[in-house]
Amino acid sequence: MKNLLLVLLFIASFLSAQTNTEVYLYNLSNNNGTYKIKDGKNISNNPGYDSQPYFYSKRIVIFSSMRDKQTDIAMYNEKTGKVTYLSNTPNGGEYTPQRIPKSKDISAVRLDADGLQRFYQYNIKTGKSTELIANLKVAYPFWLKKNVAINVVIVGKDLDLIISNLKNNTHSTIQKKVGRSVHKIPKTNFVSYISKQNEPWEVTLYNPKNGDRKKIIETLGGKEDVCWLPNGTLLMAAGNTIMKFNPATDKNWSIFHTFPKTKHKNISRILVNDKGTKLALVSE
């Protein structure tokens, strides 16, 4: 019962912090390393919680979207401008949808009404789900490669970073007390995550081959939503502004882009596609 209450409280606080959010899609232009954001569009346009965008393909963005008092996997087609739904789970909801490496199927965290929280695979044609990891309360997954995922997992009252080999069914803790943003660093074999072991929090580099960890930079004012541009520049959402930091050339954060507060009051999730031509973000 105690563990169930912890899971429910975690999800309740997570949702309450992002009630009435929308997913926006912007074009990114790059002129000799200088990026500009333009032509924004609300692609969710839906009352309630819409968040956790992911670039499934060149034309399709998937995200978690609320309908009929539950969250489902939504698929936005940029060519048609329409949203369709892959999942419709009775007494449950899906979060953090992502494309599984070397597959057309989608993975997502599913939270059932009875408090069971697990990591599932969803068939792209039928929506049928199959459990991927048993006995771990995965909160924020990240696929490193086929059969290997680096997941932010609920452990007690904290979030821990755990690497899982689905083929061998092995799980190893990388670090305790982390945040929700886990990303591959472009043009490297490294991964970044948010360490919350110290104040202020830190964006940390992790080497999956040897387990080495290294501080990249401190976060800004308790913010934890980051992503990477293809040129190796780190972006961080902070209020109505996106900040930038390039570990190779910069000593501190600087402004990448500031939106009018009437447009984006509080940006949470941000993500750039592999080619650096699209930016997805979530805001109240």
Domain layout of the chain by residue ranges: 2-283
Residues facing residue 254 across a β-bridge: 244
Segment 71-100 mean pLDDT: 96
| φ, ψ (nearest 5 deg) of residue 16 | -65, -30
What pLDDT was estimated at residue 63? 98
pLDDT value of residue 19: 73
Residue 185 DSSP one-character state: P
Residue 85 has pLDDT above 90, yes or no: yes
Question: In whole angstroms, how large is the CA radius of gyration of the chain?
Answer: 18
Mean pLDDT, the chain, whole residue set: 93
In terms of Cα–Cα distance, which of 184, 195, 200, 202 is closest to 161? 195
Paired sense of beta strands 148-155 and 143-145, if any? antiparallel
pLDDT category at 15 given cuts 50, 70, 90 is very low
Which top CATH class is 2-283? mainly beta
Grouping H, G, I as helix, E, B as strand and the rest as coil, residue 100 is: coil
Per residue in 116-138, pLDDT tens?
999 999 999 999 999 999 999 99
Could you report the per-residue pLDDT of 162-216, keeping only the tens digit for each?
Answer: 999 999 999 999 999 999 999 999 999 999 999 999 999 999 999 999 999 999 9
Nearest partner of 63 among 113, 99, 103, judged by Cα: 99
